[in-house]
Amino acid sequence: MTAPAAFRPVLPTMMASALANALAFAVAGALLMASGGAGAAVLAVQVQDAAGKPLPDVVAYAEAEAGNAPRALKPGTIEQRGLQFRPLVTVVQTGSLISFPNNDKVRHHVYSFSAPHKFDQKLYSGVAAAPQLFDKAGLVVLGCNIHDKMLAYVKVVDTPYYAKTDSAGAARIDLPAAGKYTLKAWHYAAVGGATAEQALTVKASDAVATAVFKLALKPPSADGDAPASDL
């Protein structure tokens, strides 16, 4: 499997190989699901920044025009370790639970003022705090009342077809059926907080679909990303 010819002349070697890897991964997945539903496809998404560098931690998600089929919810975990939330970016489907185990020796006080899920978990250590239910789509920014620098993002999406890009800027989404989708890509540092989107049509004969996004990011130290500034 090689990258489509059209990409080769313009992409630096690293990008081309990342894309080839994503495609190889996608093909392997497609073969595995060959006996699945008619028209099921693997979508390989590649995201880069404005300079063409692979962009990790991008939430990519597809919304089916025909409606999103129900799928079992996957709970999330955001731990606190080394005075940081890990991972920095989490994506879950609407209705999912996320737990916040504290693996530091110090206590944390996790909170969010974001409209889709305002909450407050007072000083605690270990796993004692109950999971939180994220039942509205949108962005939830997490902070810690004790440690101002702690920050994490939860992107809650109204679709089961989502993934997060890896260090090579690649994400893989299994799509259940041929049809029309709106594919979206969100990064916490995107200029203006914008979510990029593009239309995607998957034909019944497509085992693999590909999409490339280029996202413009704010300069790293522009206005700081403190949770309090991002309500």
Residue 155: strand pairing partners: 91, 139
Distance CA 209, CA 154 (A): 27
Least Å distance, CB 142 to Cu ion, is 10
b/e burial code for range 2-37 (CB count within 10 A of at least 16 → b): ebeeebeeebeeebbebbbbbbebbeebbeeeeeee
Residues 119, 134 contacting (CB under 8 angstroms): no
Nearer to Cu ion, 82 or 219 (CB): 82
- Choose between 144 and 208: whose C-beta lies nearer to Cu ion: 144
Least distance (Å) between residue 144 CB and Cu ion:
3
Give the shortest CB-147-to-Cu ion separation in angstroms: 4
* Distance separating the N- and C-terminal Cα atoms of the chain: 45
- Binding footprint of Cu ion on the chain (CB under 5 A): 108, 144, 146-147
CA-CA distance, 47 to 60, in Å (whole number)? 9
125 vs 195 by CB, closer to Cu ion: 125
CB of 134 to Cu ion, least distance (A): 20
Q: Which is nearer to Cu ion, 99 or 195 (CB)?
A: 99
